[in-house]
Structure 1
Amino acid sequence: MSSAIDATLPELDVVMPVAPKDASDAMLALRSLLRHCRNPIRAVHVVSASPPGFVDQRVRWLDESLIEPGPAEVEAVLRASGSPHGNATWYFQQLVKLGCFALPGITADHVLVTDADLAFVADVTFVDRFGRALVAWGYPLRWGPGPGTSAAIRHSALRAASRMVPGWCAVDGFSGMHHHMVFERRVAAELVRLVERAHGAPFWRAFLAALDGSRWTGASEYVLYRHFASRSFPERVVMRHLSTAEVIQGAGAGGFTLADVLAAPRPGDVRAVGCHRFLDYADRIATMDYISDALRRELPANTPLTLRLRRGEVTVTPTTTPLSFNTSP
C-alpha cells in the first residue's frame, strides 16, 4: 500500500478505460496511481477487452463487451449520422466515464476517471476533507500565446455541450481536459437527468446526437462535466492547476512509450506525465479547433509534439525526443 495514502480523506473508486493501443502503458499508469493517490482507493475498475494482467487486490476488470452501449453500437450510430471518422472507440470511452456510476461495483460517491496513458509522478489529492472534488483547470480552450483567460469562440466541444444541456455555457477559458477527472455521484446524476428530460432519450444517444461529426474531436466528456459542475455545483468543486509534461503522437508502430517519457528529464514542478497515441493523428490534429491558426502553421505534419502545461499556459513543441524542453520549473 502506498505511503501517500491519507486515511482521513474520503475514499474513491477509480475507472480506467484501456484501449488496445494503450495496454502496455496502462500498467505504468496503474502503478503510478496506486503509489501517488492520497485518497484511499476502494477499487480500480479497468474497462478493457481483456484482463489487465496487473496483480493488486484493488484492481478489478470490467469486460467492455458487457457494457451498453458497446463500441459497435456507438459506431453504428455515428455511421448513421454520416460521421466520416473512425473514432467510435474514443466516444465509447467518453460514455464509460460519464456513466461511471452505473458500472457494476461502483459504490463510492466520487469516481476518479483517468486515462491509461497518464502517469502521476507526485502525490496528489483528488477529494478534500470536505468532500469537494479537486478538479484541474486543464488545457486552455485555445492553444496559442498567453494563458487561457477567455473562452474560445470556435470550439466543437463547447457547441456539443450547449446542445446537450439546456443553459450550458463555459464558465471560463479552461477546458477541464487533462486526461483525468473527479466525478461526483450527485452532480453526474443531475447532468444525466437534465439531458434525458430535455431530449426525451437516453443520455448516451443525446451525447452522440449533439457532437460535431465533421471533426474528429467533436465532443469532450471533460469539457461537458467540468463546466457543468463549476456552474451548477460550485460548492462541490475546487479548481486547481496541475503541472504536466506530455507527448502526443500517432498510434502507429514505433514512437515513444510512457516508460520513455517517465525516464526523460522533466521540470521539478511536474505532477504527472503522459504519452498519448492518437488514432488518425493527422486528421485529429487538423480538426482540433482549439489549436489557433497561428500555432497550427508552426506544427509539422505527423510530427510528435511535447506539451508543457504550467499555470494554465500550454507550450507546444515539435520533438524527436521525449519531453524535449527546458527542465527548469
Structure 2
Amino acid sequence: MQRHRTGPPRPASVSASADGRRSGALPPVGVVVLAAEKDMPGLDVCVRGIRAHCLNPVAMVQVIAQRVPARPRDGVDPHVVWCDERRCTVGIREVRAYLRDSGRDPSTASWYFQQLAKLECFDVLPADAPEHVLVVDADFVFLRDTAFVDARGRSLLPYGYPLSWHPGTRAHRLPARHSALEAAGRLVPGWLPVDAYSGMQHHMVFDRTVLGDLVRRARNAHGMPFWQAFLRTADPVKWTGASEYVLYRHFAARFFPERVRHRHVDAADVIQAEGPGGFALPEVVAAARGTSLRAVGCHRFLNYTERLATMDYVPPGLRRALGAAPGPLRLRLDGGMLTVGQAVPPLTLT
C-alpha cells in the first residue's frame, strides 16, 4: 500500500438550523439501532438523543435486538419499532457456523453479525423506508442538533478515528498495514482508501443507492451471498478483521463522491471490558455537560485485552502502554485530533 501524508481535512458543518427541520428542507431519514443485551440499560438514552437532536425528519426508529420485549420497555420511546435479529438476512448462528466451519474463532460471531446487520439494513426495513438510513450503535448518544443528510440529498459521513492512532496531531498518515483496509480491498474490486480517516465513529448514514451498489459489486466479484463474501475476505486471525464503517465510507467517497460530504464530529468515548464495574452510558453523558462535544459513547468489549493487542490502528508503542494497564480508556476527537487517556472516576471529558 502506498504510504502518504494527508493534511487535516477542512471540517464541514455538522448542524443545520432548526428552521430547516421545521420547514421540511432536509430529507427524512430512517434510524436503525443495533442493541445487544449488554446495551439495553442505555438504549433509552441513545434513542432520546436521536429524536431530540436529529435535524432531519425521523421517519422511524427501528431497534434490532436479540430479544424483542413483550411490552414497551420502561423509558424507551413507545414509538420505537422492535425487530428480532433473526429477521436479518443472516443470523448470528449462521455467522458462528461459517466461522467454525472455516477453522476460525467462532467467538467473534457477534462482532461480525452486527456489521452485517448494518450493511444489510435496508433488507429489514419497510419498502417505503427513506432512501437514507442513520445507523447508530446503541451505546452512542448525540448531544447537540445535527443534520445527517443535507438539503441536496448528500449523506454527511463522519471522518471518524484516524486509521493510525497518533495522539495530539491532525496530520495523519495511512498505515503500512491495516486489516480493515486489506479486507475491504479483497471484498470489492477497485476499493481503495481516500484519506487517512477510518469513518469509524459508532454511526453511519447509509444511502440505499450506494449501499446497493457496494453489495452488488461484492456479490458479483465472489459469486456468493454478500454476507459470505464479507466473512471470507475478513482477516481470519484478527478480532477486528473487517470494518463495515471503513468499507462503506471509503467506497462512497471513491465511487459516489457527489452523494456524500465528510465532516468531523467532536466526540468522546469510553472503552472498557465487558463485565461488572466500569462506567455506564449515563455517567459519560453527564460528564459531557458543559463541553463542546457533539456526541459521546460508552462501550464494553468482549476479549478487551486481546482486542487491544491486535488493533492495527494502535501503533506498537501505544499498544504496549495500553496493554500494560488494560483498564477503561477515554478517547476524544476534536476536529480530527485524537487524545487518549485512562478513564478514572470522577470521569472528566475536557
TM-score, with structure 2 as normaliser: 0.89
User: Structure 1 residue aligned with 2:222, among 193, 199, 215?
Assistant: 199
Cα 1:113–1:174 shift into 2, 3 Å: same
For 2:31 and 2:268, locate their aligned partners in 1 and report how far apart those are by CA, in whole Å: 22
Among the aligned pairs, what percent are the same residue? 52
TM-score normalised to structure 1 length: 0.94
2:286 is aligned with 1:263: yes
* Cα distance, 1:169–1:320 mapped onto 2, change above 3 Å: same
How far does residue 313 in structure 1 lie from its aligned partner after superposition? 1.4
How many residues matched? 324
Determine if the alignment matches structure 1 residue 168 to structure 2 residue 191: yes
1:14–1:111 CA contact under 8 A, matched in 2: yes
Name 2:329's counterpart in structure 1.
305
RMSD: 1.7
Question: How do residues 5-44 of structure 1 correspond to structure 2 at under 5 angstroms?
Answer: 5-6=21-22, 7-44=24-61
Question: Are the counterparts in 2 of residues 304 and 318 from structure 1 also a CA contact under 8 Å?
Answer: yes
CA distance in structure 2 between the aligned counterparts of 1:65 and 1:322, rounded to whole angstroms: 40
Measured after TM superposition, the shift of residue 289 of structure 1 is 0.9
1:89 matched to 2:110: yes
Task: Give how far 1:50 is off.
Answer: 2.1
Task: Name the structure 2 match of 1:76.
Answer: 97
Secondary structure at the aligned position of 1:212 is classed as coil
For residue 108 of structure 1, what is the aligned residue in structure 2?
130
Matched residue type, 2:275: G
Unaligned runs of 5+ in 2: 1-16
Is 1:247–1:322's contact at 8 Å kept on the other side of the alignment? no
Please say if 1:51 is aligned against 2:68.
yes
> Aligned equivalents of 2:347 and 2:187: distance in 1?
37
- 1-structure distance, mates of 2:43, 2:288: 21
Moved more, 108-117 or 138-147: 138-147
Return the alpha-carbon distance in structure 2 between the equivalents of residues 44 and 236 of structure 1. 23
Quick one: which amino acid aligns to residue 198 of structure 1?
Answer: A
Alignment check: 8 A CA contact 1:265 1:323 kept: no
User: Aligned equivalents of 1:117 and 1:31: distance in 2?
Assistant: 12
In structure 2, distance between residues paired with 1:102 and 1:265: 36
Gaps of 5+ in 1: none
Q: Identify if the C-alpha distance between structure 1 residues 296 and 234 changes in structure 2 by more than 3 Å, giving closer, same or farther.
A: same
1:280 to 285, 303, 310: 303
Matched, 1:241 2:258: no
Task: Report SS of the residue matched to 2:62.
Answer: strand
| CA-CA distance at 1:137 after TM superposition | 0.3
Aligned mates of 2:171, 2:237 — CA distance in 1: 25
Check conservation: 2:134, 2:148, Cα contact below 8 A: yes
Partner of 1:113, secondary structure, is: strand
Structure 1 runs, 4 residues or longer, greater than 3 Å off: 3-6, 54-58, 322-325
